[in-house]
Chain A
């Protein structure tokens, strides 16, 4: 039996931009929280182990919260669009309904049309013979989407948490973890900017400066 590909699974349930965003959140959460905890835990092996567990638990929880909010958030927006279509077709607050529909469609190719064509699209929606209302239910597909988002957040813990596996002293472990996070953020920023056709190096420097800033705060608060 052939196991399903993880890459195909992610591709089916998340967009490329979402994957970049989730990796970004995952790295920031683990770096920020371990940086904060590092101020108060023992400097010996017990402290390092505690940091490892903190990193894992923080990202498990964050992954779940993030997955749920993405799915629930898009459901809320789909219901709002559904209500707007209903209003447009029944003639209730038509102008506002048309604006809401165009807002909802702005991320699709319809957002690239001129005002005249957008008005034609609205008219086609209003005069359509059939419209199936949005049926809202958390189904297996939505759960798989939550799992896809969760998995990205969870996986990003590991490169940043590697020092907590191999070091027995907290200080070098935290420092190496921040260094890894800085490079990861720079790489992520570069790739994301490349994908979005933005200035790659500028975004890479901006992203890596976030973890450097977290490190500076950690030092300023009496950390490592």
Chain B
């Protein structure tokens, strides 16, 4: 594989594994983690020149751990949702009353796009589901599927992207506090951009989205910068 193809393949993999909403959320979590932890390191790190390496080590450990934790929790969420669905399938399977079965199916579909269809279409779909659900297929033990394992990797990679962007100031600027300030300002811009795109793809007011996300980012960064003053 050519090196130039690697980022393209990585983005394709992430795009295929996580939904657009999840991708934006993951990126935002990465920015939150890197900026808050780097702020805390400026407060808590050793005052010597080794600060730079200390910061890099802490950020890499944090983001690796966070990426893994986040990915695992995503996969667990997915596994729990699957278990919920299996329980529902088993309940529907043993329910003798057709009206109760249809009601359980309608309730499950109510939170999906099916709820926006007309009544006739909803009832046709409920009928297809009622007839098509697997029978007597009790779930014994739930395991992570290969797709859920890919989710762990995709979430991890997205968190890592935020680290790569926000770590640049620490590589080129000195002293550490100034590099942290620049990194935090980049994080603030990322907050605004993510808020903008959240709102854009959610068909909401883009500037309001940018403002809300930017405000949250600003609180986080002011807290990270101001706590140093409190301690000193």
Chain A residues close to B by CB (< 8 Å): 15-18, 20-21, 24-25, 28, 32-33, 36-41, 50, 54, 57-58, 61-62, 64-65, 68-70, 72-82, 85, 101, 103-105, 107-114, 116-117, 120-121, 124-125, 127-134, 136-138, 192, 195-199, 203, 206, 210, 213-214, 217, 221-222
Contact = CB atoms under 8 A, between A and B. Distances in A.
A111 B219 CA distance: 41
A75 B212 CA distance: 16
A66 to B, nearest CB: 8
A78 to B, nearest CB: 8
* From B62, B69, B219, residue with most partner A Cβ within 10 Å: B69
Interface in B152-168: none
Contacts of B124: 124
Given A17-B77, A40-B43, A41-B44, A81 B113 contact: yes
A158 B84 CA distance: 29
B186 interface: no
B198 interface: yes
B101 to A, nearest CB: 11
Given A36-B41, A61-B223, A16 B84 contact: yes
A51 to B, nearest CB: 11
A117 B81 contact: no
Contacts of B105: 109
Contacts, number: 227
Contacts of B220: 61, 65
B18 to A, nearest CB: 10
Interface residues of B, number: 80
Contacts of A210: 65, 69
B230 interface: yes
A110 B21 contact: no
Nearest to B230: A50
A13 to B, nearest CB: 12
Contacts of B40: 33, 36-37
A85 B62 CA distance: 40
Interface stretch (B5-13, B173-181, B200-208): B200-208
B20 interface: yes
B83 A196 contact: yes
B108 to A, nearest CB: 5
A109 B76 contact: no
A133 B201 contact: no
Interface of B: 19-22, 24-25, 28-29, 32, 36-37, 40-41, 43-46, 54, 57-58, 61-62, 65-66, 69, 72-73, 76-77, 79-86, 88-89, 92, 105, 108-109, 111-114, 116-118, 120-121, 124-125, 128-129, 131-134, 139, 141-143, 198-199, 201-204, 209, 212-213, 216, 219-220, 223, 227, 230-231
A110 B65 contact: no
Contacts of A15: 81, 84
Q: Is the interface of A mostly helix, strand, loop or mixed?
A: helix
Contacts of B69: 24, 28, 210
Residue of B22, B80, B212 ringed by the most chain A CB atoms within 10 A: B80
Contacts of A17: 76-77, 80-81, 84
Given A33-B36, A36-B37, A108-B112, A198 B81 contact: no
Contacts of A125: 113-114, 117, 121, 125
A24 B80 CA distance: 14
B108 A131 contact: no
B76 A196 contact: yes
Contact of A138 (B19, B36, B204): B204
A54 B228 CA distance: 12
A7 to B, nearest CB: 18
Given A197-B83, A197-B141, 11 more contacts: A17-B80, A24-B76, A33-B37, A72-B199, A73-B25, A74-B21, A76-B24, A103-B19, A105-B114, A117-B128, A125-B113
Nearest to B109: A108
27 contacts: A15-B81, A17-B80, A17-B81, A24-B73, A25-B73, A33-B37, A38-B44, A65-B28, A69-B24, A72-B21, A72-B202, A75-B202, A76-B19, A76-B21, A76-B201, A79-B202, A109-B129, A110-B129, A113-B132, A121-B129, A124-B121, A124-B125, A125-B117, A134-B116, A136-B202, A196-B80, A210-B69
